Amino acid sequence: MNPFSSESAWLCLTATAVLGGMLLCKAWSSGQLRSQVVCLAGLWGGACLLSLSLLCSLFLLSVSCFFLLYVSSSDQDSLPVDQKAVLVTGADSGFGHALAKHLDKLGFTVFAGVLDKEGPGAEELRKNCSERLSVLQMDVTKPEQIKDAHSKVAEKIQDKGLWAVVNNAGVFHFPIDGELIPMTVYRKCMAVNFFGAVEVTKVFLPLLRKSKGRLVNVSSMGAMIPFQMVAAYASTKAAISMFSSIIRQELAKWGVKVVTIHPGGFQTNIVGSQDSWDKTEKEILDHFSKEIQENYGQEYVHTQKLTLPVMREMSNPDITPVLRDIQHAICARNPSSFYSSGRMTYLWICFATYSPTSLLDYILRNHFTPKLMPRALRTTS
């Protein structure tokens, strides 16, 4: 019997096509296409694995399309700006700098926390943004500066409350084996990427609770995927991702929504300058023990430094996807808990999460391993 001979089957097939098409159009325009497609594929695959009849499968998919369409539509409802106040850390450059400008153009009252209030990034913000934007000296590793910034924010917003805090400030490091990364680098990454974000969160939470606002923490796809050579950076990003997941549940009862952003590879100043690379290389070599020297060799460290410009060139220069996701997290009535910004980022995270560890390790070892092996391994026959 032809499975499409039933009028009910044709009805379900038509409904699936219409609803699915509308869903994909909305997902495409909102940048959430990846997750929607994966959800639909998973539902269809599950129906096939359960050996359901064509009619039941189509009915299930139609209902799923309708549900996802409803969720997608409700997620696109944006709240009015109404000069809502937003604090952005790490606004000297990169994501934070561009986000501060972007939110200012949208009409938000922006507090741009910077590492150097007299630096070029801060000066550019003051020059090119409206009077609604305030530049705040805010080294997230210094509690006194965080508290001083809180006082200035509270004084300006008064009874309005703070709508959102975007913990964006972060540092990267010289890409090298975890054994060779100096402990000073581990501590610096943890101080900025994790402890800094946590302290900012704790200090500003009373203002967020008052407005039932948003806490947006910028993590990284490296928090979910064990790429080699970034042990210090990725570990701190994994820590902030778990912190976000826990505090998201704890703050739900107060009406505060917590969102985590996992960007892929984008061109920002987080990689550092040539001077910082040279300084870290020297620090690594100065701490070489005799055994480390024999196993790795200085040439191995120097070669790793040469990968930094390559990393920058391979990264996406267009940071619009990150800005779009953070804007959605701040403005949407029902934001997602997680956003994966960038090409292939969502698929990489899914693969790392669900694939067998042996397969993931095999792929990462064969495609993300340094071209030059340590000295001891090069001489071993």
**What residues act catalytically?**
233
Tokens 């959102």 locate to 164
Instruction: Tell me how far CA of residue 245 lies from CA of 233, 261, 341, in angstroms.
Output: 19, 12, 18
Tokens 């305030």 locate to 134
Q: Where are the alpha helices (DSSP H) in the chain?
A: 7-30, 33-49, 54-75, 94-106, 120-128, 143-157, 183-189, 197-211, 231-252, 274-286, 290-295, 298-305, 307-314, 320-331, 345-354, 357-367, 375-379
In degrees and rounded to multiples of 5, residue 14 shows phi and psi of: -65, -45
**334/316 Cα distance (integer angstroms):** 28
Name the amino acid, one letter, at 140: V
* Integer-rounded Cα radius of gyration of the chain: 24
Closest by alpha carbon to 95, among 273, 308, 348, 264? 264
- Print burial letters for 4-31: b (CB count within 10 Å at least 16), e (below 16): eeeeebeebbebbeebbeebbebbeebe
**280/212 Cα distance (integer angstroms):** 43
**58/16 Cα distance (integer angstroms):** 7
**Strand, coil or helix: what is 234?**
helix
